[in-house]
Amino acid sequence: NVTPESTFSLVERLEQILEPHSEAANAFLLSKSLIKEGQNFRDVSTKVANMIIADASGFISKATAFANPPTE
């Protein structure tokens, strides 16, 4: 049972966490099939959003590592 308020605050929290890393986050989520082409991190499911919020720093480090692979 999701109220509009809880959904809105979830997206707001995602924006606070991921906005500075939006390109990396979107590329990473797309690679994991958690969003479709043309979507962005705001379009993830509530379950995924909660997982990102629960481990924001872990998610950001995974996403930035994916988006910026180490160069040889």
pLDDT digits (tens, 9 = 90+) for 11-32: 999 999 999 999 999 999 999 9
Which pLDDT score is estimated for 70? 82
How far apart (Å, rounded) are the C-alpha atoms in residues 7 and 9? Answer: 6
What's residue 36's pLDDT?
97
The whole-number pLDDT of residue 72 equals: 79
Cα 28 to Cα 2, 13, 56, 66: the distances in Å are: 26, 18, 14, 6
In 1-72, alpha helices (H): 4-18, 22-31, 46-54, 56-67
The residue-averaged pLDDT of 43-72 equals: 94
The residue among 51 and 8 whose pLDDT is bigger is 51
